[in-house]
Structure 1
Amino acid sequence: MGKSIAAWKSIADDSSLCYISYRRFLSSKTAADQQIQLYNEITGDIHFDEKLRTRVVVQVDSLTRVTGTPSTVIADELHGIYRQIFSNPSRSKSAWEKFDGLITTAKHFIALDADANDDDKKILSMIRPGIKFIINDYKPNNEKRFYLENSHEENYQLLWKYLDDPTKRCGVFCHYKRHGKFSVEEIAKEAQRRNISEKHYHADTDYAVKHEDFSDPVAAFADTRIVIFNHTLEAGVSIIDKQFDILFVLSFEVGSVEATKQAIHRFRNISEIHYSVVRKISSGLPVTREDIITRIINNERNLTATERDNRLPNISDINISFGQAYISYIVEENNSRCFFTPRLIESLRRTGYSIVTVPLMDYPT
C-alpha cells in the first residue's frame, strides 16, 4: 500500500495527532475520514492532550502555536517541511525547536517522503535515538510510462499530433502562465486556432470560474479535449488526473523543482506522461556538506546567488540537530536544482514508472 494509507492504518482510532504538512490542506475525504481540523480554524494555541482525540493539520508557520504533547506526529513530505523551516531565517530556529520537541516527545512519529535518504535517517536518529525505519517498496505505477522528450518543441509537436485524432483528449502541465509559445495562455490560443475545445487555468484565473468547474469536473470537461494549467494551481492536479489518462509536461529545472515533482507523483490515474525540460542556467554548483560547514564556520554568505540561500545561520545560533538538518537541506536544495531531471527520473523509477528516452524526431519547422 502507499505511504499515506500505511501511515493512517498504523494510527490508533483514539490517538491525538499533529499532522505537519507543507500543504495547506488534505483532501476533503481524508480530513472527513480522519476527523482532522485545519490550524487556521483554531484561534490561539493549538493544544494537544494524549487523553483527548485532538487531530489538527499544522504548517510550519503555525508550529510555534502548538502546546502540549500529541500521541502521534506525522511529518508529511519531510523535505518540504525542511524547506519551509529553513527558507525563513526569522522563524527557522523557533520552528525547528518546536519540530524537534514534537518528534522527541510524541509516542509515535511517522515521516513521509518518497525521496527520504540516509541524511534524513541520521537526523531523525539524532533527535530520537532508537527510531525504527521501514522501507516502503510499494510501486503504484507499474503500468505507467514516462517519456523523456528531447525538447519543448518536440513535445509541443507531439501534443498537436496526438490531438489530430478527434477522439483523443489530454492534459497539459506548464511552467508559465503567459508569455512564450509554451505557456498556458499561448497553448490555449493555439488550441482555439485549431478548433480544439479547451479550458485553461492558472493563478490569475477568476476564482468563480475555477470553483464552478472544479466542483463538477465531469460536467465541466465533458466536451473539452485539452485542459492546460500551470504548477501553481494545485487543485488542477486532482481534477485533471480524474479526467485524462495522458499528460504533457513542459517544465523548467530551476524554479519549478519541487512543484513539478510533487505534481507528477500526485497523478494517480494518468498512465502516460510526456515530459520535456528547458534547463535554465543556474549560478548554483553542486555542493558538499563540508562546503556548507566551512562557510557557516567562516561566516561566509556567498553559497549561491539567491538571497534566500545567502542567509546562512550564525554558528552560535544552532544546536547539533538544527545544524545537521540545515546543512542537509542546503545540499539537497542546491543539488536537486543542478540534477533535477535525473533525480526526478530515479524517484519515478522507485514508484514503478517505465522510463522511455525518446529518439530525436523530425517535425516541421
Structure 2
Amino acid sequence: MNFKKMFYYNQFEQTKLNYILLMTMILGTMLTINSMSWISAWMGMEVNLMCFIPLLMLKNKLMKSANLMMMYFMIQASSSCLLMFMILMYKVETMFIKTSMMNTLIQLSLLMKMGAAPFHWWTPKIIKSMNWKNCFILLTWQKLAPLILISMTNMSYLMYYSIIMSTIIGAIMGLNQTSMKLIIAYSSINHISWMMISIMINLNTFIIYFIIYSITILMVSLMLNNLNINYLNQLFKNNNMNMFNKINIMSLMLSMGGIPPFIGFLPKFKILMLMIKNQLIMESMIFIFFSLITLMYYLNPLISMMLTSKMSSKWIMTKFNIMKNMFFLMLMNFTVLMIMILPLNFMN
C-alpha cells in the first residue's frame, strides 16, 4: 500500500514538474520575441533550452534519452556559442564588410538552432527517438524564437540558399522513409522554407502560416499518439481502424500538403501570391514543384490505408466514441469550413 501511494505521489510530482518546465519554456520564448537587445534574446533561448532538455528524459529508455539529450544539447550549445560570439563582435566592429559577414554568421547559428537545411541533419536523428509530445514541441514552438530573430536580420545569400535547400531536401528525403516521425520531420524541414520566405516578405502571413501549421501538427501528433502509430506498415496492416480515424488522418495529412479544400492551402497560396508580386517567379515554381513531391509521401500510405479496408470497418459511432473523438470532429469542421469564411479577408 505504501508503495502504491509512493508511486502515485511520484507521478503527481512529475506532472507538476512537467507543467513548470513547459511554462518556463514558453516564458523563455516570449522573452526572446519581446526582447529589445540581442543579449536578452540569447538569454531567452537559453532558458527555453534548459527547460526543454529535461522533457526529453521523460517516458524514454535511459540510454536512448541520455544520447538524445546530449546530441540536442551539443547542437544547441554550439549554435548558442556562435551566436553569442557574433553578438559581442557586432558591438565592437564597425566596418561594413565585416558587419555583413557577422550578420551572415548570426543567421547561420539561428538556422542551426531550428534545423533548417543544410544544418538539418540532427533533426531526424533526434525526432525518431522522441515521443509524439516532444516531437510537436520541437517542430513548432522551438522554431518560433529563431524565426523571429531571423526576421530581424538582413537578407543574405545564406538565407536564400537555405530556403531553397530546405524546400528540396524536405521533399526528396521524405520519399523513402517508413517512420511516421521521420516523414513529419522532413515535412517540417520543407515547411521551414515556407515560413522563412513568408517572414521575409510579410510578418502577418508568417503568423497565420505558423498558427495553422502548429494546429495541424498538434492534431497529427495526438491522432498518431492515441492510435500508437509510428510506422507506415501499421497504417497498412491496421485495416480494422475506425473509418472516422482514417478520414481524420487523411484530412490532416492533406491539410499539411496544401490540398485546396483544406485550411493548409490558404497560407501557401497567400505566400505564393506575395512571391509572384515580389518578382520571385523561379522560386515560386521551385516551391510548387517540390510541394507536389511532398504530397507523394502523404498520399501513398493514405490511399493504401483507405483501399485496403476490410468489411468490418463501418461507420460505427457509439456514445463513448463520440465523446472521445468530438475534439477531432470539431477540428475537421473547422478545417473544411474555414475555406468558406477566410478567403475574402485573407486574400486582401
Measured against the shorter chain, the TM-score band is under 0.3
Structure number with greater CO (CA < 8 Å, separation at least 6) is: 1
> TM-score w.r.t. structure 2 length?
0.26
The structure with the greater share of residues assigned to strand is 1
> TM-score w.r.t. structure 1 length?
0.25
